[in-house]
Structure formats: C-alpha cells, structure tokens
C-alpha cells in the first residue's frame, strides 16, 4: 500500500473509525447497534402485514456476461423424478447451486474490503486466505443482527426522476432532504435502504447499463451514517457506491471507509422498486426488515433474499 499520499477516504476513515468501540475482538461492527430493544421496536412496525421481496433471482439470467470476473449463479439438478423408481412410486428431486457470494442481491461483510493491509478492527490481510476463508470478520457472525427496523430513503423520487442519472453521487444533503420529504428520521440500529432507481436497468434487461456507470453514495454521506449509528446500508445498484469512483486512483473509497473503518455492512443489488411504490403510496417509510443471509463459515458476505414486512 502507499499511504504517503493522504487519500481523502483514509483521512475520513480515521475520523470515523470504530475499531475497538465494541472490543478488540468484535467482528460485526455497526451491527452491534441492533440491540434487543431495537428488535422489539422494529417488530412493532408490522402494521398491515404486507410483505415485500427485495431479492434478485439467483439464476443464470443474472447481470453478468460470459467472460467477466464474476459469473451468474448456476443451478443444477442432482436428483430427478426418473432417478427414484421405488415400489411406492416415489418421485424426488434435489438440486445444487454454484454461486459467487457476490453474484446477486448480497451483503458485503467486514472481510470484504480494507486498505493499508488491514480489515475492520485491525484484522491483518493475511487473516483472509484460501485455507481459512475469512478467519476474522466472517459474515457468518452477523446473521442474528440483520433483522431490524428498515428505512427506505428514495433519492430518485426526491429528485423527481425515474432513476438518478449515471454516476450521480448521493450526498448528505440528499439523504437529509429525503428524510425531510418523507417525514422519517434514521436512528441508531436502522438498516437503511437507499434507492437510486438503478435497478430498473436490470428489470428492463439492460444488464450492461446496470453494471455500468451507477449512481450511488460517496464519501459525503459517511459522517451522516456514522452520526446516526446506521447498522447496515443497502442499495439498489450493483456497486455499493457511486461508479466509477470520483476519487481518482481509488476504486471503492466508500467501501474502504464504511466497511473497514466504520465496520458497516453494505448491501448491493436490492430490488427496491415495489417497496418504494408502496411507501410513496401510504407515506410509511419504516418497516421490519429481514435479511439474515446464509451462515457460510469464513465468508466475506452472503447471498440474500431480503424480505420487508410493513
């Protein structure tokens, strides 16, 4: 690494650093904000019993083209009705999946990104390797914390557009204005869903645009995330931050500050379209959010199908 130049994300990360805040052995960061009291309060938000599915399907029709670094999930049948010719006419089917933990709707956990040779809470780079996977900061420690109050901030609607323009950077002013417009306030332990409208590209079948110059948040909202004690932040774009990065020479500076310094779990490729319609219609932007993910030992994140109950 080259820390001689002071990178803006590293300076900001130093300011917002949460290392040691929950002990030197902590592996879940801001998910510590999801307390028993928070769960009780969040459950009270189920008022109409409506349910929303925020997940991208896991299948070969996913966003990735052949030949790239990431590939779409591969679903295989491993048992079929023709395999079980038993006396009682049993038919049975099993299946298998081969998937990147980052191949569709997903959590980026605290072993997913860092800098300066360190992940969240001073974990050295070598703690993440082929023998152990993520021997520290594995996502699997987080599963019980990913049910909490969810709050949707709809930046596209704030701006009066169908979707934000390519590479638009969502700012602190934007999220404050969205709270104001929506009459909701993000509080400690919330899981924030930030809507840019980018997911529409995927829904419309334009995978190239979806994986292209995405709108998303940048360094400017980090202090707000920190001050409000946000537990996790999820987005509808593919990249988890504005793409490409406005910080020259830095590919994912927002990931660096949030995941590595703050210990903030990030969500990507959330389908917020139907939920946002409903929230706009009834004026209720808070709900019970549920996306525990899969407890894969040593993982840097998890594929998920997030569910919202209002």
Residues 144-173 that bind its own copies (CB under 8 A): 144-145, 147
- Non-local (6+) Cβ contacts of 25 within 8 A are 121
Q: Which is nearer to its own copies, 102 or 121 (CB)?
A: 102
Q: Which is nearer to its own copies, 249 or 283 (CB)?
A: 249
CA torsion, ordered 272, 63, 304, 96, to nearest 10 deg = 150
- Please state the closest distance from residue 162 (CB atom) to its own copies, in A: 25
Q: Which is nearer to its own copies, 37 or 165 (CB)?
A: 37
Stretch that binds its own copies, among 24-32, 119-127, 154-162, 194-202 (CB under 8 A): 119-127
Which residue shows structure tokens 């040779």?
Answer: 117
209 counts as binding its own copies under rule CB under 8 A: no
80 counts as binding its own copies under rule CB under 8 A: yes
What's the token pair of residue 85? 């010719």
- Please state the closest distance from residue 206 (CB atom) to its own copies, in A: 14
Please select the residue that binds its own copies; options are 23, 67, 160, 183, rule is CB under 8 A: 67
Stretch that binds its own copies, among 74-82, 149-157, 179-187, 216-224 (CB under 8 A): 74-82
Measured CA to CA, the distance from residue 42 to residue 21 in angstroms comes to 24
128 counts as binding its own copies under rule CB under 8 A: yes
Using alpha carbons, list the distances in angstroms from residue 191 to 49, 67, 132: 19, 34, 29
* 36-43 long-range Cβ contacts below 8 angstroms, 24+ apart: 38/148, 38/149, 38/188, 38/189, 39/147, 39/148, 41/149, 42/147, 42/148, 42/149, 42/150, 42/288, 42/289, 43/288
195 counts as binding its own copies under rule CB under 8 A: no
Stretch that binds its own copies, among 118-126, 160-168, 214-222, 223-231 (CB under 8 A): 118-126
Strand (E) or helix (H) holding 294 = none
The tally of CA atoms less than 13 A away on the side-chain side of residue 28 is 16
What's the token pair of residue 25? 């052995």
2 counts as binding its own copies under rule CB under 8 A: yes
11 counts as binding its own copies under rule CB under 8 A: no
Q: Which is nearer to its own copies, 183 or 249 (CB)?
A: 249
85 counts as binding its own copies under rule CB under 8 A: yes
- Non-local (6+) Cβ contacts of 228 within 8 A are 186, 187, 188, 190
25 counts as binding its own copies under rule CB under 8 A: no
121 counts as binding its own copies under rule CB under 8 A: no
Please select the residue that binds its own copies; options are 102, 182, 198, 265, rule is CB under 8 A: 102
82 counts as binding its own copies under rule CB under 8 A: yes
């Amino acid at each position: 690494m080259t820390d001689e130049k002071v990178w803006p994300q590293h300076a900001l990360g130093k300011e917002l650093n949460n290392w040691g805040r929950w002990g030197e052995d902590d592996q879940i960061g801001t998910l510590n904000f999801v307390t028993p009291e928070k769960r009780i309060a969040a459950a009270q938000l189920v008022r109409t019993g409506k349910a929303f599915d925020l997940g991208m399907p896991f299948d070969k029709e996913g966003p990735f083209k052949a030949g790239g670094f990431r590939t779409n999930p591969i679903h295989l049948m491993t048992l079929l009705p023709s395999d079980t010719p038993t006396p009682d006419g049993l038919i049975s089917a099993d299946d298998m999946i081969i998937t990147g933990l980052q191949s569709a709707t997903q959590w980026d956990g605290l072993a997913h990104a860092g800098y300066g040779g360190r992940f969240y809470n001073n974990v050295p780079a070598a703690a993440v390797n082929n023998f152990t996977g993520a021997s520290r900061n594995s996502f699997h420690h987080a599963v019980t914390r990913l049910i909490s109050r969810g709050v949707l901030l709809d930046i596209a609607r704030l701006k009066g557009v169908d979707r934000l323009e390519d590479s638009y950077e969502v700012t602190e002013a934007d999220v404050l204005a969205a709270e104001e417009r929506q009459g909701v306030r993000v509080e400690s332990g919330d899981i924030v869903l930030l809507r840019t409208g980018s997911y529409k590209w995927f829904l419309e079948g334009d995978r190239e645009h979806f994986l292209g110059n995405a709108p998303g948040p940048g360094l400017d909202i980090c202090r707000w995330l920190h001050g409000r004690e946000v537990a996790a932040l999820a987005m509808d774009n593919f990249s988890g931050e504005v793409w490409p990065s406005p910080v020259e020479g830095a590919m994912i500076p927002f990931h660096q500050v949030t995941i590595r310094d703050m210990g903030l779990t990030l969500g990507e490729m959330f389908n917020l379209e139907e939920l946002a319609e409903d929230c706009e219609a009834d004026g209720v932007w808070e709900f019970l959010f549920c996306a525990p993910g899969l407890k894969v030992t040593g993982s840097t994140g998890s594929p998920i199908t997030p569910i919202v109950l209002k």
